[in-house]
Amino acid sequence: MRADARRNRDRVMSIARALFEQHGPSVEMDEIARQAGVGVGTIYRQFPTKEALMQAVLASHIERVTIAARELAAAPDAGKAFFDLLARIASEFLVKGSLHLAMARAGLTVPEPTEERAEFERALGALLVRAQKAGAVRRGVTAPEVIMLARGALFPSDAHDIPTAMRRRMFEIVCNGLRTRPRR
Amino acid sequence: MRADARRNRDRVMSIARALFEQHGPSVEMDEIARQAGVGVGTIYRQFPTKEALMQAVLASHIERVTIAARELAAAPDAGKAFFDLLARIASEFLVKGSLHLAMARAGLTVPEPTEERAEFERALGALLVRAQKAGAVRRGVTAPEVIMLARGALFPSDAHDIPTAMRRRMFEIVCNGLRTRPRR
């Protein structure tokens, strides 16, 4: 992709993410194009449908966490790095989850971004193992388990309308449960 | 219900629970009657369909936990009582969950036993508050949150085929996260 095409794509994604976050899946492609300062044709060349754009936005939340994990991979305090990543996971996934839910309510489904998810799991796993070796995280727990626990705390099944504060409180309990030296 | 009718019902339920646990929803009513030592007509008088019997079995798992909670309500160590109840919840719910899953796979659905669930939540809440007052469980957490976390750890959405040991490990992390004085 050429540099200016990539810049346009990044702008579109960033505007789309913000608009979807604020207004849900009803946002028009025209409005995204207008705010991103590009023609709507430019968007459609990269994202043939709004669903494709939404799918890219959902995947981008995972990618951002993966990037954060890689940035934290060499941090001096391995325990702090892992729990900083978990905090980032909560923030990104809460936004991603509410878009996902709004899409489901609008009858839209997108496939799970399998590749991005595998990358994310690998990056998380590296930080997890480092934090376990440093004695900050309980041994025996694996990256897929951390992800399942995080999802379960943030998005309990059969409870779609609970407040964000409750989701965060449950997530905090999971984080606490992973620590070998819990904070009161 | 007369005493002998209740005794028959209890026997049928106990045999049905064991057979469903071992063989899933394919167990025949005839076989349950045979092992319970009653005529199949006796079962059908109380449970007009196999689904009705299964629903009663699912509800009985919740009732058993509620009874356990009430028995633990006056135990001297409020923290231990709460975590003993959580251990019991894990065991009953793992059995209940696998029957539930087998039923879903067989295309059977039963409504959630709302009343039993509300009773259970109240009984759990009483133990939770007592354990929080004793300083053994983190403050701010509510009974519905404990239940959502327990379900999320035991039955992560989109992960139906994970081993029981993994479910138990995730449950243990949740338990640990609820403690103010975690065990290593």
What confidence tier does A111 reach under pLDDT thresholds 50, 70, 90?
confident
- The maximal CA–CA distance of chain A, rounded, in angstroms, is 54
Tokens, residue B125: 């809440």
CB A174 to CB B179 under 8 A? no
CB B140 to CB A169 under 8 A? yes
pLDDT(A99) > 80:
yes
Q: What is the pLDDT of residue A184?
A: 47
Instruction: Identify any residues that bridge with B142 across adjacent strands, giving them in sequence order.
Output: none
Considering only residues B102 and A125, tell me which one the structure prediction assigns the higher pLDDT. Answer: A125
Tell me the DSSP string of B28-73: -HHHHHHHHTS-HHHHHHH-SSHHHHHHHHHHHHHHHHHHHHHHHT
Q: What is this structure's pTM?
A: 0.89
What distance in Å separates residue A178's CA from the closest CA in chain B? 6
Q: Which of B145, B175, B179 sits opposite A166 (nearest CB)?
A: B145
Tokens, residue A17: 């993410």
CB B177 to CB A175 under 8 A? yes
Residue B170, chain A, CB below 8 Å: the answer is yes
Distance between CA A149 and CA A138 in Å, rounded? 14
| Cβ neighbours, 10 Å, residue B13 | 19
Q: What is the pLDDT of residue A182?
A: 59
Residue B149, chain A, CB below 8 Å: the answer is yes
Tokens, residue A177: 């449960």
SS3 content of chain A, % helix, strand, coil (to 5): 75, 0, 25
CA nearest A141 in B: which residue? B169
Report the alpha-carbon angle B160-B164-B167, nearest 5: 75
Give B 66-105 residues with CB within 8 A of chain A. Answer: none
pLDDT(A114) > 70:
yes
What distance in Å separates residue A24's CA from the closest CA in chain B? 23
Residue A135, chain B, CB below 8 Å: the answer is no
Distance between CA A101 and CA A160 in Å, rounded? 8
Q: Which of B138, B145, B153 sits opposite A149 (nearest CB)?
A: B153
Range A48-63 average pLDDT: 91
| Contact criterion met (CB below 8 Å) for B104 and B51 | no
Residue type, A180: T
| Contact criterion met (CB below 8 Å) for A62 and A41 | no
Q: Given CA atoms A40, A42, A45, A48 in this order, what sign does their dihedral have?
A: negative
What distance in Å separates residue A170's CA from the closest CA in chain B? 7
Digit-coded pLDDT (tens) for A72-91: 999 999 999 999 999 999 99
Distance between CA A52 and CA B48 in Å, rounded? 50
Residue B150, chain A, CB below 8 Å: the answer is no
Q: What is the pLDDT of residue A183?
A: 58
Q: What is the pLDDT of residue B184?
A: 47
Considering only residues B122 and A98, tell me which one the structure prediction assigns the higher pLDDT. Answer: B122
pLDDT(A108) > 90:
no
DSSP A108: -
Place of tokens 């379900």: B151
Q: Which of B157, B172, B180 sits opposite A151 (nearest CB)?
A: B157
Distance between CA A83 and CA A101 in Å, rounded? 26
| Contact criterion met (CB below 8 Å) for A149 and A124 | no
Residue A173, chain B, CB below 8 Å: the answer is yes
By C-alpha distance, which of B113, B173, B131, B182 is closest to B149?
B173
Q: In A, which residues are within 8 Å of B153 by CB distance? A: 148-149, 152
CB B148 to CB A170 under 8 A? yes
- Among A1-10, A58-67, A81-90, B70-79, the minimum mean pLDDT is found in A1-10
Give A 29-58 residues with CB within 8 A of chain B. Answer: none
CA nearest A145 in B: which residue? B170
CB A149 to CB B145 under 8 A? no
Over chain B (184 residues), what is each successive 10-residue block's mean pLDDT? 84 93 90 94 92 91 94 96 97 89 83 88 97 96 96 89 94 96 59
Distance between CA B161 and CA B117 in Å, rounded? 25
Range A80-104 average pLDDT: 92
CB A176 to CB B138 under 8 A? yes
